Amino acid sequence: MGYLCPDCSRKTTSSHIVQCSSCKTVLNFVRAAPNEEKVVFNVSKCSHCIGTIEDEWEIEPLYYPESYI
């Protein structure tokens, strides 16, 4: 994942990460439950690599019996 500022680095322990598959930019953090496994959600493109802001919000939801993300 590259360099993250101290604030963003702390968020990786309590949040899921939304990252661009193309340029690997970290776009956002999604809060996770304390006992939930933290995952990286990928979007195909972002506004940094010829995508749009709308593309940054198109993540596929994951369905599990005990949770919905």
Burial 7-44 (b: 16+ CB within 10 A, else e): eeeebeeebbbbbbebeebbbeeeebeeeeeeeebebe
Chain mean pLDDT for the chain: 79
Residue 22: both structure tokens together = 């193309």
Cβ atoms of residues 16 and 38 within 8 Å? yes
Kindly indicate the confidence band of residue 48, based on its pLDDT and cuts at 50, 70 and 90.
Answer: confident
pLDDT at 63: 47
The answer, yes or no, to whether residue 41 has pLDDT greater than 80, is yes
pLDDT in tens, 54-67: 666 666 555 455 55
Mean pLDDT within 38-63: 73
